Chain A
């Protein structure tokens, strides 16, 4: 047990260190015949962070304003929609849920050029695309959480004469929380993808544009630095959601 824990911590760190060292030693560039201006070395990428920190910081701000807005509005809208479905008769709600589930499986990023046609303002163009990408999953998961309650809990509530609000608050809403977090974890990467696609498409601002722009200026390390930021951001947001979930609903972790 203890040796397993050591392994799961040590092995990835060693792997990453060796990987970066080999990369730094020019091995990848030599083996695949890649020039340094196409695939820069780790230390060049690292120095891009300090050399161009202002540019990267403002691009980061532009990107994450849109990510935050889209993520919050999309998940909020999705949850409201799930509440709305709860008010509808079951057959209709299931039908709508089925449609949302199908929409969720589509390559919905394809809508980005269309949103560009509707919305000129850069931030809202990105945020709206994210909202459209993110809300179906939240509706589907939240509705599932609100309805998949233990029937005995409902019976208990009836036996103690609980009010409709109490049933909603203490049974349905509580049951939905883990589902809501699952949907949010799923939509983190979606919102990043949506914003980056919009930025590459519109070529006006943000990290996505910065990647493109830096490459045009032959400042490849800057482009890689922007990619590293995006990658780390995705991982950090995901991890943050896990931590918050653990604080709010510790019981859903204790089970597994």
Chain B
């Protein structure tokens, strides 16, 4: 009781401290005579004001970015799951492809955005493709790793029961891969949104990134404030997406969450 109360107090104090620093910083910046000062570091309440006085524009743009990121996220996860399950069935196939998947994690996929845009010549398709592509890599690598995570003793038990390959997959390897799958999904969710928004930054004519870019080039103090609005929305949406994955793990595999809490 007192423990949790102390916890809430500390959290509240942290939030207040952050806001205080923000207000102080904003006051300092705005005290100067920079015409863009308000846009460079607005007060927190000004950011909230920008969001609420532009709900129509920002809402529409968020919906475009979010919807296409989600479509891509779902497609990328499904393809990734199926792909990794099939691939794990052949040793040679797996050793041929996995190194490239791992290497893919070290590559800035974002650089593909202009290329993909150029191939499809369509903003919506590009957004979905990029989000799916980014998700695919995280999910596939996670599942491939997860399928291998069962302890050797479990394999010994399986073979002592003379189970077939499919049964081993169904009762041992797939359940063993679930926690890694969710880790991969949690990482991929905000990234798919970033991928979608990046297509806007690279020249698409709608979405949150377009608002940011337009505000940046159009300039003017009030125009530039929209960058803050769009950025806050983007970060909050990314956070919510990751939380949604955590929540769905709790629903799909509640034992996982308990085991993780125990430190297993």
Contacts and interface: CB of A to CB of B under 8 A. Distances in A.
Contact of B100 (A16, A95, A207, A237): A16
A230 B104 CA distance: 11
A116 B216 contact: yes
Interface string A201-233: 100000110011001000010011011001100
Nearest to B104: A231
Interface string A86-124: 000001000100010000011111111110111000000
B190 A107 contact: yes
B108 A230 contact: yes
A112 B239 CA distance: 18
Contacts of A109: 194, 198
Nearest to A229: B111
Contact of B110 (A12, A95, A193, A237): A193
A215 B114 contact: yes
B201 A201 contact: yes
A5 to B, nearest CB: 10
Contacts of A34: 119
A14 interface: yes
Contacts of B95: 7-8, 11-12
Contact of A238 (B106, B115, B234, B235): B106
B197 A215 contact: no
Contacts of A117: 36, 39-40, 216, 224, 227
A132 to B, nearest CB: 12
A189 interface: yes
A14 B92 CA distance: 11
Contact of B234 (A110, A118, A223, A224): A110
A234 interface: yes
A193 B238 CA distance: 17
The residue among A7, A8, A113, A189 with the most chain B CB atoms within 10 A of its own CB is: A113
Contacts of A192: 107-108
Interface residues of B, number: 50
B114 A38 contact: no
Given A38-B119, A114-B227, A116-B216, A189 B100 contact: no
B103 interface: yes
B216 A230 contact: no
A189 B141 CA distance: 16
A235 interface: yes
Contacts of A227: 111-112, 115
Nearest to A108: B235
Contacts of B97: 12, 15
B115 A223 contact: yes
A106 B193 CA distance: 11
A39 B108 contact: no
A7 B92 contact: yes
B174 interface: no
B111 A211 contact: yes
B19 interface: no
B86 interface: no
Contacts of A226: 111
A188 interface: yes
A12 B108 CA distance: 21
B71 interface: no
A69 interface: no
A227 B259 CA distance: 42
20 contacts: A11-B93, A11-B96, A38-B118, A95-B10, A107-B194, A107-B238, A112-B201, A113-B201, A114-B227, A114-B228, A117-B216, A189-B107, A192-B108, A197-B110, A200-B198, A220-B118, A230-B108, A230-B111, A234-B107, A235-B103
Interface of A: 7-8, 11-12, 14-16, 34, 38-39, 91, 95, 99, 105-114, 116-118, 188-189, 192-193, 196-197, 200-201, 207-208, 211-212, 215, 220, 223-224, 226-227, 230-231, 234-235, 237-238
Interface of B: 10-11, 14, 18, 36, 39-40, 91-93, 95-97, 99-100, 103, 105-108, 110-115, 118-119, 190-191, 193-194, 197-198, 201-203, 212-213, 215-216, 224, 227-228, 231, 234-235, 238-239, 242
